[in-house]
Structures are given as structure tokens and as C-alpha cells.
Copies of this chain bind each other. A is one copy, B any other.
Amino acid sequence: MTTSTAARVYNFSAGPAVLPEPVLEQIQDEMMALPGVGSSVLEISHRSKDFEEILDDAVARIKAVMNVPDSHEVLFIQGGGALQNIMIPANFITEPSGVADYIITGAWGKKSAGEVKHYGKLNVAYDGGSTKYNHLPKQSDLKLTPDAAYVHLTTNETIHGIQFPQLPDTGGVPIVADKSSDIMCGPINVSDFGLIYACAQKNAGIAGATIVIVRKDLLERSGDRLASYLDYKKHAQAGSRFNTPSTFPIYVTGLVCKWLQDQGGVEKMESQNKMKSQILYDIIDSSDGFYTGHVLDKAERSVMNVVFKLGSDELDAKFVTDAKSAGLTTLKGHRSLGGIRASVYNAMPVAGVEALAAFMKNFASKNG
């Protein structure tokens, strides 16, 4: 048994983000050699039986945690959301004249939409940019294409702290969802989605692994026209080992899912995430305007990323600096929006949120 050698802070980073301490401890314990293997997980072949077990276990745990039906395949791919932004239109828009609908509710959706032109036509079904993405569209705001290849949305926008409480009605057109920052934050119905993608480094592991959950019938859409690595079918046929996958990040995702199961699964996470984020929203709401939340409608506020600002840029900066001195780190908002962002992913303990809440109250009374 190895032990920690350094004091840990409460890390509110939006991603790469905090991991459960028991996961870090297991990684540390096994670093020199996996039990019974004699080599580190960093050193074993992706074709070895030992790694095959790790990969199969990670996939099985994702399926169990998210209740993935047999209609869907779970893949690990490298390249993050940025490569998914290419693979999605490349695979699913079947001809250059084809259209994909994008519902843009934040900076990540905007970035995703920007890649469509290389593979087909983009229809912006909604873009909330003119109001800095501080609210979600109503169903009647959406300009959907009846025969679109798919409808893309970002279920939780990390930068703006805005999260869909329920999915829009797309009239049977497959929903493709970037769930990078809210995968496994609570129960969902995977059957509602044609494809889900999530880079692992927020709620499901570390940077380098991207989880893709795709409806099997959609795998056939691309035919034979794509270069190999861009083709979901190739990854699926090879069981995520078309080439050497990012072995260590996959191992970490398996450990994170096991921890999540030990905690009581996504149902437990959902209630805890609501509770954690509410602690912070309550302080914002009762601060008499000292703190202002970015999102207008309480029902649309993210349970993962609590985004707010103080009365001035100077006060924002002082908040971040003072918080860091108090062991509460990475609270600066994204450079595109400014202000403060506290990310309270699954692995952020309640004690960390309570520490931040106490700091916020104290900071407001001193500086209000």
C-alpha cells in the first residue's frame, strides 16, 4: 500500500478535472506492476490478454452505469471532441447535398457546427450567441430540417453552465449529443440518442480517451468512402482496437466507473450533483446581487458547472486569488466569458463544495 505524499486542494477545474481519491490511490498502488502481470499498465500490449480484460471491463462498466441497450455500441476513440466534430458529419451526412441541424447553446456547439461544411450542409437550427447563451431555446425556436442527417446539440455547455433539462423533439431525426461535461451525471435514456460522445476528462476519466456510444444501424451509413481512422465502423469492428488505443486513459475510465458503481450509480450521482450545485446556487441567489448567475432560468442551470460573476473584473480576480490561497483552485471562468466557474463533477466531494460555499459567504460579507 502506497500513500499520498502531498496535500491535496479542492480543484474546481472544468477539465481535465478532479478524480476520486480512491481511483488515484489504486493507480498509484498498481503503477510499478499490475497484480499478477509483472508490468505496469503503462507497459502492456494493447493486444495482450491483460489489457483485453481492462478494455472489456471498462466497456462493460460504461454499459452498466449508463444502462446502454444492445442497440448501441460503446467505443473508445482518441482525438477528443474535436475529432468527433469531424467524424460525425463525415460518417452521417451521406452526400455533399445532405444537411445536418445544429442547435447551438454555447461555445462548444458553435465549434462543432464549424466543421460541418467540409462534409455537407450546415443548418443552424438555433444559435443563442446574441444573448451569450444565457438561456435555452423553446421548441418553437428551433428551425429543424425534417429530413436532416441528424440533430446535434450539447447537453451541457461547460463554459456557460447551461444544461438541457430535457431533450427537444426532433421528429425522429437522430440526436447526436456532446455529453463531454455531463456524461454519467445522472440517468438518461440512451435509446433517445443516435450518438453520444464525451471526452473522458470531466466526469469519466482523463484526457486521451473519448467515449462514443453509437446506434449500431448508423454505423452502416458511411459505406466505404472514409479513410480508416475516421470510420466508426472500423473502430466498432475492431472492438476499439483498430490501432493502439490510449490504454492508460481507458484503464482510468474503468476505475472511475467502478468507483461510481460503488457510490450507488448515476441515480445517486444525480441527487448528489443537484444537492452540490444547489448549495452554490443558493448562495448566489441569496447574495443580494453580490454574485450574479449567468443562466437566467433556474431549470436550465447546470448541475456540473456553476457559472457566475461578481460586480467587477477586479473583484472576480480577487475572488480567484483569495480562493486559491484557501485551497480552492481553478475557479477562473473561461477566457471567452470571464467571471467565475466552479465545476462540481461527480468526483468533487460534498466537503469541497461546502468549503467553497463557506468561502463565498465570507468573501461576500468582507467585500460586499
Contacts and interface: CB of A to CB of B under 8 A. Distances in A.
A159 interface: no
A81 interface: yes
A9 interface: yes
Interface residues of A, number: 74
A368 interface: no
A8 interface: yes
A39 B78 CA distance: 24
Given A15-B45, A44-B13, A6 B24 contact: no
A206 B248 contact: yes
Contacts of A25: 32
A245 interface: yes
Interface of A: 1-9, 11, 13-19, 21, 24-25, 27-35, 38-40, 42-46, 48, 78-83, 85-86, 90, 114-115, 118-119, 199, 201, 206-209, 226-230, 242-249, 252, 327, 329-330
A305 to B, nearest CB: 13
Given A118-B226, A330-B48, A246 B246 contact: yes
Contacts of A29: 5
B7 A115 contact: no
B14 A33 contact: no
Contacts of A39: 8-9, 11, 13, 18, 329
B242 A82 contact: yes
B248 A207 contact: yes
Given A2-B28, A115-B228, A81 B243 contact: yes
**A interface majority secondary structure:** loop
Contacts of A3: 2, 32
Contacts of A327: 38
A119 B3 CA distance: 52
Ranked nearest first, the 5 interchain pairs of A and B with the lowest CB-CB distance are A208-B246, A9-B38, A6-B33, A82-B243, A4-B32
A241 to B, nearest CB: 11
Contact of A118 (B11, B45, B46, B227): B227
Contacts of A206: 42, 247-248
B31 A227 contact: no
A207 B245 contact: yes
Given A39-B18, A208-B249, A86 B229 contact: yes
Contact of A33 (B7, B13, B80, B90): B7
A229 to B, nearest CB: 5
A275 B32 CA distance: 27
26 contacts: A2-B2, A2-B3, A4-B32, A5-B30, A7-B33, A11-B39, A13-B44, A14-B45, A16-B45, A17-B43, A18-B39, A24-B31, A24-B32, A25-B32, A39-B329, A46-B207, A78-B80, A82-B243, A86-B227, A115-B228, A118-B226, A201-B244, A201-B247, A206-B248, A207-B247, A246-B246
Contacts of A249: 208, 246, 248
Contacts of A81: 243
Nearest to A26: B31
B330 A45 contact: yes
Contacts of A8: 32-33, 38-39
